[in-house]
Amino acid sequence: MPKRSSKEESTTLDKTDLEILQLLQHNARITIKEIAEKVHLSTTPVHERIRRMEERGVIRQYVTLLDGAKVKKGLMVICYISLRQHSKMAGNKFIKSIQEMNEVIECLTISGEFDFMLKVVAENMDAYYDFHVNRLSQIENIGNVQSVFVMGVIKQTHQLVW
């Protein structure tokens, strides 16, 4: 039997837990009282269930989503990158650079021709050009870079439970 840290007890989520998560996914600012009513419980167990799911890491974060265009981040670009070297150290250096760039809101390692897929936000094309040429391309060990522009957002959700 594998040992587990006390912070990550792996009791499975029951139906009530999933209902609570569903409600929280849609509205992180919903009151515990309101959740309690919807799942037909009093506030105490709801409070405790949420606390445990936070502790176990099932709940990662409560975030507020903003309208990009209204905070001067109207342009979204998908950016594919391959490195010239694939040593662990070279990879870590790249990752560190990416972590520090606020414009990069997502970075995934992917299968296929490229090593990374980035999602980059900028105010407009000029700002993106500046980012691309003066910051992204300056990272050492960068190989091929390819930009794909996002013309429209059809769907964007964070629901992992439904």
Nearest to 47 by CA among 64, 30, 27, 26: 30
Q: Locate 20 and state its tokens.
A: 């609570």
* DSSP run (H or E) holding 16: helix 15-26
- Please identify, using beta-carbon distances, which residue of 111 and 134 lies nearer to its own copies: 111
Min. distance of Cβ 161 from DNA in angstroms? 18
* DSSP run (H or E) holding 120: strand 116-122
Min. distance of Cβ 1 from its own copies in angstroms? 20
- Please identify, using beta-carbon distances, which residue of 40 and 158 lies nearer to DNA: 40
Say whether residue 27 binds DNA (CB under 7 A).
no
- Please identify, using beta-carbon distances, which residue of 40 and 155 lies nearer to DNA: 40
The DSSP line for 18-31 is HHHHHHHHH-TT--
The correct pick among 45, 72, 105, 148 for binding DNA (CB under 7 A) is: 45
Nearest to 28 by CA among 54, 52, 55, 9: 54
Say whether residue 97 binds DNA (CB under 7 A).
no
Binding site for DNA (CB under 7 A): 11, 16, 31-34, 40-45, 47-49
